[in-house]
Amino acid sequence: MAYWQWGRPGSEHVVLCVHGLTRQGRDFDVLAQALCERADSLPGFPDGIRVICPDVVGRGESDWLKDPAGYQIPSYAADMLALLAQLQAQAPIKTLDWVGTSMGGLIGMLVCAQPVLHTAGAAPHEVAAPGGDAAALSLPLPVRKLVLNDVGPALQAKAIARIGAYIGKAGHFNTLQEAADAMWEICQSFGPHTPEQWLALVRPMLKPVSPGADSPMRLHYDPAIALPFKAATQDAAQQGEAMLWRLYEQIKAQTLLLRGAQSDLLSLETAQAMTQRGPHAQLIEFDGVGHAPTLIADDQVAAVARFLLA
């Protein structure tokens, strides 16, 4: 699993930013730079911060899985615990924050709900993998602050169907602009972006294809990530929602919930319920945005920075 690191490598304060279903870690370039710059200017952060933005397996620069059954939230959560263990070995972490967009928020909910079992003689917590095996990995310390970006325990069926209509289609393109135009057709809910901002978001979403192909570029992710997504039944979805609410109720981290005011994935009803249950999230909505805020606009960056760096 590849990841992108910003800020000071030895900092004791880590912010882990995890992307959405078909996205990759470079989505957080603007936010990561802003967080690092602001932390460097504040007296409460003498050694700054380090921001870690992984490419979830099957996306970006990370490897693709031989077995698509591994493209599920429990496996991703185990991967993040392994990443945190590696980061902890590189430089001790004393403060851990999490920013999760859509799928990244679901992973964060699962990770945050894990007990911290790192004392001498304690058995590591087991995160169950889809096939029934378990990865014996522990959370090195509690997540202090959690940002859930347009996601919650209950997801709207209409949005799931919309995402299912395009996920898994590899997409081949001759130019960056051609790809940008095609992606805008399915991502207009991200809200207003300048042409420069949109091209910067799209560029890391493309990878070169082998010489001799009909077009030189394709989308970055493994089309097989669609298989577990599309295989989910209505019963499984209902059971998953119940489980996510149980996880949410266990979260102890101070929580900020971001919502696009026109989101078709996170309903206002669910968002309001999240302010009353579990960690009693603080809710901020962004008008003119659906699913999901890209955390590039100044007001979105400022909201996250105020919360994490207060």
Q: Give how far Cα 129 sits from Cα of 64, 69, 103, 222, Å.
A: 17, 10, 17, 20
- Whole-number pLDDT of residue 40: 95
pLDDT in tens, 257-305: 999 999 999 999 999 999 999 999 999 999 999 999 999 999 999 999 9
pLDDT in tens, 222-240: 999 999 988 877 888 888 8
Q: Please give the single-letter amino acid code of residue 140.
A: P
Would you call the peptide bond into 91 cis, given omega within 30 degrees of 0 as the criterion? Answer: no
pLDDT under 70: residue ranges of the chain: 117-137, 211-214
β-strand 217-219 against 206-208: which pairing, if any?
antiparallel
Distance CA 297, CA 201 (A): 12
Q: How many Cα neighbours within 13 Å face the side chain of 146?
A: 30
Bridge partner list, 283: 257
Q: 6's torsion region: left (phi>0), alpha (psi -120 to 50) or beta? A: beta
Domains detected in the chain: 3-155+234-309 (3.40.50.1820)
